[in-house]
Amino acid sequence: MTKPGVLSVAKLWPRYMQALQEVFEVHDRTHQLDPAQFATIAPRIRAIAGGGESTVGSELLAQLPALEMISIFGVGYDGVDVAAARARGVPVTNTPDVLTEEVADLGIALMLSIARRVPQADRFVRDGKWPAGPFPLTRKVSGARLGIVGLGRIGQAIADRASAFGMSIAYTTRTRREDSPYAYYPSAEALAHEVDFLMVVTPGGADTRGLINAQVLAALGSRGYLINVARGSVVDEPALVHAVTSGVIAGAALDVFADEPNVPDALRNCDNVVLTPHIASGTWETRAAMADLAFANLQAHFAGKPLLTPVP
C-alpha cells in the first residue's frame, strides 16, 4: 500500500521525523527547498506536519488539493491560517497540555533569574570579579506581586507555582474566569500598575500583536519586571528595548522574540535582561510527549478515528 504523502513545513525533531517516515511518505520542506519537485508531489500531499512556529498560509493550502489535515507540534498555531483551512474542511491539531508544566517551569525560572540576576551572578564569578567585592544585592521574589497576562493552561500552572512562593497573583484575560480566586484586571495596563512581575503567556497572532506596548511598560514601572514566554509578537519589541535601556522598567526575561532567531543587539548588550532561545518546552521528556501527540493525531486521522486534540 502506498504511504500517505505528508509535507513537513518545519525542520522537525529527528525522533518525530523518524516516526513519521515509517508510516508516511514525508516531503521535508519541499515547497521551500525544491519548488520544481514540489509541483509534482503537491497533488499527493494529504497532511501537513508543522511546528509551533510554522507558517501555513492560504497560498500554500491552495497548492494542496488533496490536503486532509494539519498537525502542529506545539500548542501555539498562530502561523496557521486556521480560517482558510477550515473553509476547506481541513482540521488543525496542536499539542496542548503535554507541555504546560514545562513552559510554566521556565516562566518561573526566568522570573527568578532576572530578579536574582542568576546569569549575571554566574558571569560575575566566571569573570573573576568576586575577589574584588560582593555581588550587588538583588530583588526578592517570594511574597511579591505577580500579574499574569493570559490565565489559560500555562498561566494557571505558573499561578500554581507562584502560590508556593507566597506571591499574590492577579491576571488579565479577555473573558474573566469565574472559577479563579485571583484578582482580575480588564487590561494588561491596569494589571501592570498593580504588580512587580508581569508574566505574558497568551497566544500569538493578530489578536495579541503589540498587546504589551509602551503604555503597559510605563505602567509596570521602574521597579517592575517583564517576563515573556508567549510569542515575540505579543510585545512591542522596540518599546521594550527602550524600556529596559532607559529605566522605564527594571528588567525583562524573554524566551521569545519578534524575529527569531535574530535578537536585537540592544537586548543582547543589555545587562538587565535574561534571554533564552525559545526553549520553554525544550526538554527530552516534553518534546517526546509532543511528538507522540502530534503523531497520534495524524494516525487517528488516517485510521478514520476522531482527532485527539483539534484546535478550537
- Active site amino acids: 231, 260, 278
Give the residues across from 310 on adjacent strands. Answer: 93
In what helix (H) or strand (E) does residue 15 lie, and over which residues does it extend?
helix 14-23
Q: How far is the CB of 129 from ligand NDP (least distance, A)?
A: 32
Q: Using the minimum distance from each CB to ligand NDP, give the nearer residue, 42 or 158.
A: 158
Q: Which residue is nearest to ligand NDP (CB)?
A: 152
Q: Using the minimum distance from each CB to ligand NDP, give the nearer residue, 173 or 299.
A: 173
Q: How far is the CB of 291 from ligand NDP (least distance, A)?
A: 14
Q: Using the minimum distance from each CB to ligand NDP, give the nearer residue, 10 or 45.
A: 10
Q: How far is the CB of 19 from ligand NDP (least distance, A)?
A: 21
Positions that interact with ligand NDP (CB under 6 A): 75-76, 96, 99, 103, 149-155, 172-175, 201-204, 207-208, 211, 229-231, 255-256, 278, 280-281
Looking only at Cα atoms, what is the longest distance across the chain?
Answer: 72
Exposed (0-12), middle (13-18) or buried (19+): which is 246, by Cβ within 10 Å?
Answer: exposed
Q: Using the minimum distance from each CB to ligand NDP, give the nearer residue, 78 or 196.
A: 78
Q: How far is the CB of 255 from ligand NDP (least distance, A)?
A: 5
Distant-in-sequence, close-in-space partners of 203: CB < 8 Å, separation ≥ 6: 76, 78, 150, 230, 231
Distance from CA of residue 211 to its chain's centroid? 15
Distant-in-sequence, close-in-space partners of 131: CB < 8 Å, separation ≥ 6: none
> What is the SS3 assignment for 75-106?
CCCCCECHHHHHHCCCCEECCCCCCHHHHHHH
Give the residues across from 312 on adjacent strands. Answer: none
